[in-house]
Amino acid sequence: MIRVAICAPSASFPRELVAPVEAVAARFPGVELHFHPQCFAAEGHFAGPDDMRLEALLDCANDPAFDAVWFARGGYGSNRIAGEAMARMGDAARHKLYLGSSDGGYLLGALYRHGIGQPVHAPMPLDVKRGRGEEAIARVLGWLSGDNAGIEAGLDATPTVAFNLMTLAMLTGTTLMPDLSHHVVLVEEVSEHLYAIDRLFFHLSETLPRDLAGLRLGRVSDVPENDRPFGTEAEEIARQWCHKAGIPFLGRADIGHDHANAIVPFGPIDRASPLGIPGFTLGKRDAGA
Amino acid sequence: MIRVAICAPSASFPRELVAPVEAVAARFPGVELHFHPQCFAAEGHFAGPDDMRLEALLDCANDPAFDAVWFARGGYGSNRIAGEAMARMGDAARHKLYLGSSDGGYLLGALYRHGIGQPVHAPMPLDVKRGRGEEAIARVLGWLSGDNAGIEAGLDATPTVAFNLMTLAMLTGTTLMPDLSHHVVLVEEVSEHLYAIDRLFFHLSETLPRDLAGLRLGRVSDVPENDRPFGTEAEEIARQWCHKAGIPFLGRADIGHDHANAIVPFGPIDRASPLGIPGFTLGKRDAGA
């Protein structure tokens, strides 16, 4: 049995979406979901105050009964607790999967930097509310159950990470930022103007390591209309900045704020390994018990 | 006579706004405005392609007939040409004032980093279209004519800079970023959600030098409504992040995307000096001719 703890380090998870998530989970008898009560807390923008979100995350991460911690949703805020969370993660936290995307990228990045557990870019419980959202949930639960089909295509021994573009730009230069030298970086974005996309690529092209293995562009969706057309589409923007920075542009990626968002375990990938992750074993907890 | 060259390194300047700007300028007989034809060019989001904007900026900067270069407006794009502009600025460019704000901050920052001329956070010609916008134009022209009343209050020998918050966040870590050690930093923002303000302060609190002399908050205006209240106002957000980073929060500043936007010459200020800038003399051009 794979036990997954769900908490909300960013924004609040609507209680009425638990049932639809559980309904999908019922098809995966090898996986057990545990919603931490903090998921449903709300204070202003966040799923409870910083302290509450931090403690809930640590409850999940430091409990040896769980194999994985799944971020309920994004929505901004995990950066506010990520630094302290890393400092307080114990031994049980080091043998877990951490799954999420969008704003959850702050935690994935920080975990990767600190070598704590296995960060995984993945759909999140809130995705259930999207059209075909059950597919996103099933992709994660299927992967946890041994089906590597949901892993992003084209990943190999070259270590890879995946981030929301804004999240990655805000991470650069901070104490949460992992060293991405020799990595392939996948980025996606939602609800940002194309001029903002261009601006974020400017920032990243200047601040990412010079020896990046390459960049792939996920979906750039729900671009708001501006008072004038930008004049260049998202892929061309990415190509231009990669070219300017000497970063190989490696094409598109199947990630984004949508039901099709693929799974990207951070680091090197071997699709023949369990979970596609060479050297990682789920259930170390059981072995050690 | 102070000769001011106006170009548009970011977005296009509406030709119909030349007359209202000139009407204000008529009250300042010691100042002469020269709109570079590139101001009115448009290609997609920008005031012409990168090459055209770059050449126009260099025309203005490298022409010894001008005492000042005034950015016609912001709107995004000066970051795309700032690096190459710095590399091609000649001797005449080094004895000039450079005036602008908002997206123009990329150039002000890069000029300050390279010690080229005197960067000045200031209203821009496009501000004429605001309510009481003539006051913004008059503030700049009055200052060029010897009236230091338009300079931000409270500036002193501690070097100061002023930036749009997003612009500064995108500058950090790049080859355009000046060393702001021991500086007071003034920031303002417009049309950003409070969660985005919080996110930008997170980034800056982690990436600005530890030995900043302090931060002052300008106006944070036109904050869009979100689906839920953020829960903290802009000043409290700034205070919290400054506290966390050990940066002295020094109160408010009179800058912002509005008619009242104050003038902030980068560096130390002595209000008794010409232009408030110790050691800077306008018209070195004439002395050398």
Q: Kindly provide the ipTM of the predicted complex, given to two decimals.
A: 0.95
pLDDT of residue A278: 94
Residues B148-160 as b/e (b if ≥16 CB within 10 A, e otherwise) read bebbbebbeeebb
Contact B44 A229 (CB under 8 A): yes
Instruction: Tell me which DSSP letter residue A276 carries.
Output: G
User: Are B123 and B139 in contact, with CB atoms under 8 Å apart?
Assistant: yes
Measure the CA–CA gap between B122 and B150, rounded to whole angstroms: 9
What residues of chain B lie within 8 A of the CB of A42, using their CB? 228
Interface of B with A in 101-140 (CB under 8 A): none
Most B CBs within 10 Å, among A73, A199, A232, to test the B interface: A199
pLDDT per residue as tens digits for the range B156-191: 999 999 999 999 999 999 999 999 999 999 999 999
By the CB < 8 Å criterion, does B45 face chain A?
yes
pLDDT at B287 over 50: no
Q: In chain A, which ranges are E strands?
A: 2-7, 31-35, 68-71, 97-100, 118-121, 160-164, 184-190, 214-221, 249-252, 264-265
Averaged confidence pLDDT in chain B: 96
Show the tokens assigned to A79.
């950066």
What residues of chain B lie within 8 A of the CB of A173, using their CB? 172-173, 203, 206-207
By the CB < 8 Å criterion, does B13 face chain A?
no
Nearest CB neighbour to A173, from listed B46, B173, B200:
B173
What residues of chain A lie within 8 A of the CB of B173, using their CB? 172-173, 203, 206-207
Nearest CB neighbour to A206, from listed B43, B174, B231:
B174
pLDDT per residue as tens digits for the range A182-215: 999 999 999 999 999 999 999 999 999 999 999 9
pLDDT of residue A16: 98
* Residue A215 identity (one-letter amino acid): L
Angle at B281 between CA B276 and CA B285, to 5 degrees: 150
Averaged confidence pLDDT in chain A: 96
Most A CBs within 10 Å, among B78, B167, B206, to test the A interface: B206
pLDDT of residue A284: 55
H or E element in which residue B68 lies: strand B68-71
- Min Cα distance A158 → chain B (Å) is 26
Contact B229 A44 (CB under 8 A): yes
Contact B76 A198 (CB under 8 A): yes
What residues of chain A lie within 8 A of the CB of B46, using their CB? 231
Cross-strand bridge partners of residue A266? none
